[in-house]
Amino acid sequence: MGWIKKLRIRLMEKIRKTNALHYYQSYKENQWKDQKELLKEQDEKVSNLIKHAYAEVPFYKEYMEKHNLPPAHFQTVKDLEKLPIVGKEELKRQKNKVLANNIEDYSPEEKRTGGSTGEPFKYYLPKLSHSLMWANLWRGWNVTGYHPGDKIGVLAGGSLLSGFDVKRRLYYYLNNWIPFSSYNMSEETMDHYVSAMKKKKVKLLYSYSSSAYELANYILKKGYKIQLDGVITTSEVLFPHYREAIEKAFGCEVYDQYGANDGGVTAFECDQHEGLHIGMERCVVEIVDDDGNPVPDGEEGRILLTDLSNYAMPFIRYEVGDYGAITREPCACGRGLIRLTHIKGRQQEFVYSRNNRKVHGGFFSTTFRQYDAVEQFQVKQDQIGEIVIRLRLNDPSFEKQLERLKQTIAKQAELDKVTIELTDQFEKTKGGKHKFVINNVAETNESVVR
């Protein structure tokens, strides 16, 4: 069966014109290099990227000339601090100025972010970046024992499973994916998923964090027995109570991953579970404070990404919207890759108190994980100082505590009004993800965002 799996993957590579297998083999060895060597390689890639941006990308050429910053001034990763921070809105405004004059040399492919926080963002990715993305993903999955072509269940929505037409089904077949849509997580559907996983002998699951958690709760509720070799979570914050339920339901360890393909980052958790190793071959990660200044290792701040491989539409010091922290301390696993110590979610995963103070969604996850009766929650804000909390309970007797819970949350988060609704229905993004905070204030009140 091994040669069939290899044949499938090689055919997939040929169809999408990637060379991910080559880079995967290289990356598996590369991760064990000394961190100093990996950083030196990054310095060289930064220097080459900036030379290209100056020569071929109008936005960067104009900025560097205006501020007297010739390419020779960029020799190390730290030199990136001389360039501006850019986000989706800035890139949209600049449009053609951020595209390389020789963009067609890199066989670019148009991509779009999911648009879960507003209007979808269109960008261009060269085939090299696409290859490196898959190489990094597979390297992360390899921690579970996975090898390219192995069977893997995929429980997700549009960002990973973009349809079930003939073309997409062929794609899943060649990758040896068993697809499970996250859009419909009814009990009947989840019962079918469990049966299918057993029948098809799925041993690995790649899933949105909230979807794996939802399926895990159903399995535990029904008392089903299912044993996997590993669950890989992605696309959403993996809360401690998510991890606990998933590991209990599937009888295996959970390995979290973080990725932002527009910014070039893929990071994965190893068996030490002490942060996520960054794919340094493709991406530089910076952490800055609200004023754009670098923060010390271990201190939380805004995540900036520089894709070292995207010469078609360079993403340099790109603010993806997430918060986190990094460490350069050695990991017990022996990998030299720098780690993200944690990811704290996006700007829209805050609500605002009566005084416009940001209250991160993590406050609510910490609050609700104290109560076994709360299976799922979602917080929605339409007005500053007011929120609606949707809860799914597995114990009706907990309803007696809701009034006290409302008062506690209102006091601690400095909110004028807290409403709790009991429901089994939660809003999901267009990509089928569970959005645990829906902040309509952040999208409409510009003064609050700033």
Lowest mean pLDDT among 134-138, 210-214, 301-305, 327-331: 210-214
What is the third-level CATH fold of 353-449? GMP Synthetase; Chain A, domain 3 (3.30.300)
Question: Is a pLDDT exceeding 80 seen at residue 361?
Answer: no
* Mean pLDDT confidence for 266-271: 97
Mean pLDDT to the nearest integer, 339-347: 80
Confidence of residue 118 (pLDDT cuts 50, 70, 90): very low
**Average pLDDT over the chain, rounded to an integer:** 90
Which pLDDT score, from 0 to 100, does residue 70 have? 97
The pairing of strands 283-288 and 301-307 is antiparallel
Write down the domain spans for the chain.
353-449
Across 157-176, average pLDDT: 84
Q: What is the mean pLDDT of residues 2-14?
A: 86
Res 446 pLDDT > 50: no
pLDDT tens readout for residues 177-218: 999 988 778 889 999 999 999 999 999 999 989 889 989 999
